[in-house]
Chains A and B, each alone.
Chain A
């Protein structure tokens, strides 16, 4: 299993725009996840490079979301879930009992499959994180953070005149970008995205993909996707999961052109999944 650990060497895109991509941001060692008696994830060991996009692909139910949710300890909210093994972010054990989950989640943001804006105004949605973490010292501070986040999420021009309207009143694609703005408002280091485009139409999807590409300048992004094309378009590295096992990981173009494992090849060519 350990031999599967890969760092990108050949991804040209990753290499030019992200000079630090050789440095692993997130390191997982022998991670196992159980839901009650069900063993959902087997000995996952992977390095996730900094300031690059990592895509998780694989057939439904193979454990992509489960692994993603280990990285910000969202599995803690599921009472029957049990995680063993080590996950380190910047060499710090995130399952260390001394570590505060609240701070971890401020460092590791998450965007969900279905846009889930809070039933509050657009402004309050983005201000949510900064408020609970006390990131803004004054009202103008807060306004700056909100404006900057909305701008970076590419939503500013569409909502700047209606910041006090309900976030739930936006279109699906706008809502998803609002959720991204909400996540980046606390300046996380890692952003987890679980099928962020699955509820969006192609235009909104393209918009979000563009955004992901821009965000990788500053954030380490991990995205779960069912679309091979999307993985190919936005990611520099790809990990393929199958039946709770991390089968193969490597630079995206290598995984897609010359996969080493037969199962990866079958999945990519559409023979199962």
Chain B
């Protein structure tokens, strides 16, 4: 039914556009119009599209629950008293009966009948209201076509409205996510002290599932996770920062255009490798290599180590650092380089003393964005660094990170209000807050830097 509706929408839109444009064109032949005929057409088309899309959205949001409640109400007993699971089971039976009535109980068949009727009603309502509104809009706009009608300004407002709506969707989703995380975090802190959470040294989130279990009270001291995250992030940055920066300097200042043309896309491919691939690279290649290297040196290396995860994560963010740094280095005005060469400086002196200091704020913010990327990365750590919440700064031991714990806490069947599940939200909130601060600071620095040269 919706496909028919969409066809009707398209047909009406084109018709409204052509009618309004045609009318305006005819008027334009006899005298001067305020707006070009195309604008009259576009405005009429938007007068069809906008209300019809709105009606469709309302239908999509309300019709399914309306149809379901009708169908369930047709069942005997007190179906509304059932829990969500039972209702879902019944609903599935009814839907099956709609598709294939054979073998269904008479009650279910009756409910299926109600279901079909309700669905038809909703569909007809959609068609009549939607097409009616669209037709009205079209007729209204086509009638308004005239030499003084400001269709051009009207369409401008429509465009602005659409853009604002899209921006609002993005902003509201973000705000919604932040608030739901915040809300769950606060719920967690009613069950567990926030001070213990932020300063506790013990992380063992297993809580008792049954009342009679013992010794499983759960400890949510997140410090080991913060330390693990920091450790892996430091290792990653130790690799990504110099390698990324130096390769950016080479690309921006020394590489011939031909080499640049080849190397940049290759680096971008590296940036496009899915993190899972990096993850099994870390777990299956790098971790064993580090372990056997450790053995030959007489070191005891865990098979899952912070070092392996950090190294691979560092490799993963190299292209990130290098392409951002490359951009800021290229943004340093050529006139500064000329000034330095003109003083008799060599290329590397120029880079060291003029280009890099000028690009420094941008490079710093590139590094900060890379850090927030490293902190938020999960897959590699899950696969290569392990799950044990060790409080250690030894890169050869297994550690775990905030993101990995969030993933572990929420995988599998969970109660949604246990302290264990809620602690994931608290961790998520800390992570979000940290990366938010990093990003804000980084963007601030970039902005200051832009002002300096524009």
Contact = CB atoms under 8 A, between A and B. Distances in A.
Instruction: Give the size range of B's interface with the partner.
Output: 10 to 19
B337 to A, nearest CB: 8
Interface string B328-358: 0000010111111111111001000110011
Given A119-B358, A132-B349, A112 B344 contact: no
B452 A104 contact: no
B343 A116 contact: no
Contacts of B353: 118, 128, 132
Given A112-B335, A114-B335, A118-B358, A128 B342 contact: no
Given A118-B336, A118-B354, A168-B452, A132 B341 contact: no
A74 B342 contact: yes
B345 A110 contact: no
B346 A102 contact: yes
6 contacts: A105-B344, A106-B344, A114-B335, A118-B357, A120-B357, A182-B339
A72 B357 contact: no
Interface of B: 333, 335-346, 349, 353-354, 357-358, 452
Contact of B338 (A74, A109, A128, A129): A74
Nearest to A119: B358
Interface in A112-170: 112, 114, 116-120, 128-129, 132-133, 168
Q: Which of B335, B344, B346, B354 has the most CB of A within 10 A?
A: B344
Nearest to A125: B339
A89 B210 CA distance: 94
A46 to B, nearest CB: 21
Contacts of B344: 101-106, 129, 132-133, 186
B8 to A, nearest CB: 60
A133 to B, nearest CB: 6
A102 B345 contact: yes
A33 B203 CA distance: 72
Nearest to B343: A129
A112 B339 contact: yes
Contacts of B341: 74, 77, 105
Contacts of B358: 118-119
A135 to B, nearest CB: 11
A72 B342 contact: yes
Interface of A: 72, 74, 77, 101-106, 109-110, 112, 114, 116-120, 128-129, 132-133, 168, 179, 182-183, 186
Contacts of B349: 132
Given A119-B452, A120-B357, A168-B452, A128 B343 contact: yes
A72 B349 CA distance: 18
What is the predominant secondary structure among interface residues of chain B facing chain A?
helix
Given A106-B343, A118-B336, 19 more contacts: A77-B338, A101-B344, A102-B344, A102-B346, A105-B341, A105-B343, A110-B338, A110-B342, A112-B335, A116-B338, A117-B339, A118-B340, A118-B353, A118-B354, A128-B340, A128-B343, A128-B345, A133-B344, A168-B452
A211 B357 CA distance: 30
Nearest to B256: A79
Contacts of A186: 343-344
Given A102-B344, A116-B333, A119-B357, A179 B452 contact: no
A112 B338 contact: yes
B261 to A, nearest CB: 14
B351 to A, nearest CB: 13
The 9 A-B residue pairs with the shortest CB-CB distance, nearest first, are: A105-B344, A110-B342, A106-B344, A116-B335, A116-B339, A129-B343, A119-B358, A102-B344, A132-B345
A105 B342 contact: yes
Contacts of B333: 116
A198 to B, nearest CB: 13
Contacts of A74: 338, 341-342
A112 B343 CA distance: 12
A109 B346 CA distance: 15
B338 A182 contact: no
Contacts of B339: 112, 116-118, 179, 182
A112 B357 contact: no
A117 B339 CA distance: 8
Nearest to B361: A119
Nearest to A120: B357
Nearest to A105: B344
Contacts of A106: 343-344
A109 B336 contact: no
A132 B337 CA distance: 15
A30 B107 CA distance: 105
Contacts of A112: 335, 338-339, 342
Contacts of B343: 105-106, 109, 128-129, 132, 182-183, 186
A241 B357 CA distance: 39
A77 B339 CA distance: 12
A117 B333 CA distance: 11
Contacts of A110: 338, 342
Contacts of A183: 342-343
A111 to B, nearest CB: 8
A81 to B, nearest CB: 13
Contacts of B357: 118-120
A109 B335 contact: no
A77 B347 CA distance: 10
Contacts of A114: 335
A105 B347 CA distance: 13
B342 A109 contact: yes
A102 B358 CA distance: 22
A36 B333 CA distance: 24
A112 B353 CA distance: 19
Contacts of A168: 452
Nearest to B333: A116
Nearest to B354: A118
Contacts of A117: 339
Nearest to A103: B344
Q: Which of B335, B342, B354 has the most CB of A within 10 A?
A: B342
Nearest to A101: B344
Contacts of A109: 342-343
A96 B188 CA distance: 77
A223 B73 CA distance: 93
B277 to A, nearest CB: 38
A89 to B, nearest CB: 14
Nearest to B342: A110
Nearest to A73: B341
A119 B354 CA distance: 8
